[in-house]
Amino acid sequence: MTEPEGERKPARVVVADDQTVVREGIVMLLGLLPGVEVVGAAGDGEEAVRLVGELAPDVVLMDLRMPRCDGVEATRRIRARYPGTQVVVLTTFADDESLFPALRAGARGYLTKDAGGDEIVRAVHSVLSGDAGLSPSVQRRLLERLSQPEPVPAVQEAPDGLTARETEVLVLIAEGLSNQEIARRLHVSTATVKTHINNLFAKTGLKDRAQAVRYAYGRGLVRPPTG
């Protein structure tokens, strides 16, 4: 039976963030709010996993970009070893390449660091109740992603060892999209797009976007317009 709101025990929380000022700020903020009790703080993913084993918290508030062991890998280990502990991601990044790996690793909540204390507490109690603790912006991103049709690969096997995402970026280059337009289409940062372009140029020996267009048409990744 669900405990009445006034009788509900505070959720025991571990905070994991490699930035000392941010970590201490989150701990201080949560210490001022009812409904949560911070029982530990970790400076990286390895320490977060260790503290979960020692303290058995209800929830870990997990940063993603940390040394030694990042938040995605730490989430994966915690959910595999300590299934009684839930993970809520609390990060600066809300792009698809941060969001979806974290959710696939087992995170039940995902907030950005501009979330207020009340929103963090709601997310903590939501995941403990079996619901998802997602910020409104993350919920919209998930709905947008789920509503998009799955892209159909143009070829069975990408040429020159290109990954599926590198091939997708190449096709969008051939369609005339700029880096910023590709980033919006794929819901990633322009820096991520540039990384994919550098990788696919290195693998294919291409020097510029004009060569990339010819390459894409020559490999049958893009069909010339008809009519």
- 189 lies in which domain range? 159-218
- Establish if 225 belongs to a structural domain: no
In a domain, 154, yes or no: no
Residues 87 and 174 in one domain: no
Taking the C-alpha atoms of residue 87 and residue 133, their distance in angstroms, rounded to an integer, is 10
Q: In the sheet where 36-42 sits, what is the strand order?
A: 36-42, 11-16, 59-62, 86-91, 109-112, 133-134
Average per-residue pLDDT for the chain:
84
Same domain? For 78 and 179 the reply is: no
Note the pLDDT tens digit of each residue in 72-110: 999 999 999 999 999 999 988 767 677 788 888 888 888
**How far is it, in rounded angstroms, from Cα 106 to Cα 100?**
10
| 224 in a structural domain | no
Instruction: Work out the average pLDDT over 214-221.
Output: 84
Q: Are residues 84 and 175 in the same domain?
A: no
Task: Confirm whether pTM is higher than 0.85.
Answer: no
The Cα-based distances of 80 to 28, 67, 77, 102, 127 in angstroms read 29, 21, 5, 14, 17
Report the CATH number at residue 133. Answer: 3.40.50.2300
pLDDT of residue 139: 63
Q: What is the pLDDT of residue 79?
A: 93
Residue 153 domain-assigned?
A: no
Q: How far apart are CA 73 and CA 50, in angstroms?
A: 13
Same domain, 77 and 108: yes
Q: Sorting pLDDT into bands at 50, 70 and 90, what band is 53?
A: very high
Q: Are residues 102 and 186 in the same domain?
A: no
- In this structure, what DSSP letter does residue 5 have? G
pLDDT digit string (tens) for 11-28? 999 999 999 999 999 999
DSSP 28-50: HHHHTSTTEEEEEEESSHHHHHH
- What is the signed CA dihedral for 31, 33, 36, 41, rounded to 10 degrees? -30
DSSP 103-147: HHHT-SEEEETT--HHHHHHHHHHHHTTS-EE-HHHHHHHHHHHH
Instruction: Give the number of domains in the chain.
Output: 2
